Amino acid sequence: MQIKTKDDRRQRIRYRIRKRMRGTSERPRLSVFRSDSHIYVQVIDDMAGSTLASASSVEPSVKAKMDTDTRAGNRKGAELVGRTIAERLKEKGITRVVFDRNGFLYHGRVRAVADAARSAGLEF
| Single-letter amino acid code for the residue at 111 | R
29-34 and 98-100 beta bridge pairing:
parallel
Q: Any idea where the domains of the chain sit in the sequence?
A: 6-119
What 3-state class would DSSP assign to 107?
coil
Residues 6+ apart with CB under 8 A from 102: 10, 14, 17, 31, 32, 33
What 3-state class would DSSP assign to 50?
strand
In CATH terms, the fold of domain 6-119 is: Nucleotidyltransferase; domain 5 (3.30.420)
What global pTM score does this model have? 0.90
pLDDT digits (tens, 9 = 90+) for 29-85: 999 999 999 999 999 999 999 999 999 999 999 999 998 888 988 999 999 999 999
Burial (CB count <10 Å: 0-12, 13-18, 19+), residue 70? middle
